Amino acid sequence: MDTKRKYITKKRFWAGTLLAQFLLFFIASKIGPALEFFAQFFDFQKRIHQKIFAAVPYSIGDAVYILLGIVLIILLIRIVNKNTRNSYLLKLLVLLNILYFTYQIFWGILYFQEPIIEKLPVGEITLEESKALTIKYLALSRQARLSVEEDDKGVFKLSDITRIKTEILGRQERLPVFLESTKPSHINSFKPSLFRGVMSYSGILGYYNPFTAEAQYNPELPATYLPFTLAHESAHQMGYAREHEANFIAFLLGKESTNPELRYSTYYFVLKSLLNSLAEKNPHFVRQTISNYSLGMKRDRAAEKKFVQDHKGILEDFFGFTNDLFLKSNRQDGSITYSYFVDLMVRFERNPGVNQ
């Protein structure tokens, strides 16, 4: 009886500690100096982790996730067993406290930083303005497509992914001055994910591991996706937690890149985002724009559609749903929303003064 009472007391303590963490981090998210402290701490711990793990060719973070998954399965099995339920439920609560605390101080609190859009001039974005930019990025995409290599099917292929990674790290030094508080990451910590097969069927292009500061990507992606995905994940490594803000940073990294593959992937992403934002407002314009793709771009688009079609399934629906919930729980739009990125990009494009 004493042992049972002891477990109940300990479980209440750790459950209460977890609830206290929720409250404390919520309060911290409302306090400017606290957010600044966590931003500085993020930069400090990120650099240490990258120095430790960057030299390892495979993803340490993915190995940690696999180990963690095994531990959670064992805990759940033990919890089902009445004879071991109390002790392993206590272990689970302790583990959840450790994981939640580590996640928040390493990454989660960054979702509450001042939005980038508040650093850009305000102003309503008109339909005509979006259409004009779509035409601009169609022309830029057509031009950039001429500078990249093709495979034997005439589809865009990457010649050297290492050069793209190096270019992205170098471009971090050239971000506009209104983003100067962000510290670049000079360490190449891009890693192909150990879960690439699952990623191909899940719709996930890449992800940042907050516990090891590695940027994972799916090497099986079509070449049109990969350079921009790498730039996007590098934005997370710089401390931009929100997905659409990471897209915006990737846009800034790639739009004037000297690497033609990164430049084309960036222009093409912007073009697709603009078209997606206009799909309901002006479907005729969208169809007309796609019909004006160059032959190479049309082959790239067909390759993308084939990749998506070949990897459709229940995993894509599941991960799409869970990712949507995760984004909304962290004060972001859902995963199928393009408006915030387009707003950021358009406001930046219309105000040359913020570029200086």
* Same-domain pairing of 169 and 49: no
Q: What are φ and ψ of residue 259, in 5° steps?
A: -85, 115
What pLDDT, on a 0 to 100 scale, did the predictor assign at position 355?
54
> Regarding beta strands 156-157 and 190-192, do their DSSP bridges make them parallel or antiparallel, or are they unpaired?
unpaired
- Of the three residues 54, 82, 112, the one that is the final residue of a domain is 112
**Residue-by-residue pLDDT tens, the chain, 356 positions:** 467 778 788 989 999 999 999 999 999 999 999 999 999 999 999 999 999 999 898 999 999 999 999 999 999 999 999 888 889 999 999 999 999 999 999 999 999 999 999 888 888 888 999 999 999 999 999 999 999 999 999 999 999 999 999 999 999 988 888 886 667 778 899 999 999 888 888 888 999 999 999 999 999 999 999 999 999 999 999 999 999 999 999 999 999 999 999 999 999 999 999 999 998 899 999 999 999 999 999 999 999 999 988 888 654 543 343 444 434 444 445 444 448 899 999 999 887 555 55
Looking at residue 318, its pLDDT comes to: 39
Please tell me whether residues 55 and 149 are part of one structural domain: no
| pLDDT of 262 | 98
pLDDT of residue 128: 92
R_g (Cα) of the chain, nearest Å: 22
Same domain for 187 and 247?
A: yes
Say if residue 30 is in the same domain as residue 134.
no
Task: State how far the Cα of 221 lies from the Cα of 90, in Å rounded to an integer.
Answer: 41
pLDDT of residue 86: 87
pTM of the predicted model as reported, rounded to 2 decimal places: 0.90
Domain boundary among 93, 112, 131: 112
Domain count, the chain: 2
DSSP state for residue 154 in the 8-state scheme: S
Domain of residue 98 covers: 2-112
- Residue 271 neighbours by CB under 8 Å, 6+ apart: 134, 137, 138, 141, 289
Q: Is the same domain home to 93 and 122?
A: no
**Confidence (pLDDT) at 244:** 93
One domain, residues 150 and 261 = yes
Residues 195 and 132 placed together within one structural domain of the fold: yes
pLDDT, position 315: 45
Based on the domain organization, do 246 and 269 belong to the same domain? Answer: yes
Residues 84 and 171 in one domain: no
What amino acid is encoded at 226 in this protein? L
Does 58 lie in the same domain as 30?
Answer: yes
- pLDDT, residue 329, reads 43
Last residue of a domain, one of 57, 90, 112: 112
Q: Verify that 122 and 176 share a domain, yes or no.
A: yes
- The answer to whether residues 253 and 185 belong to one domain is yes
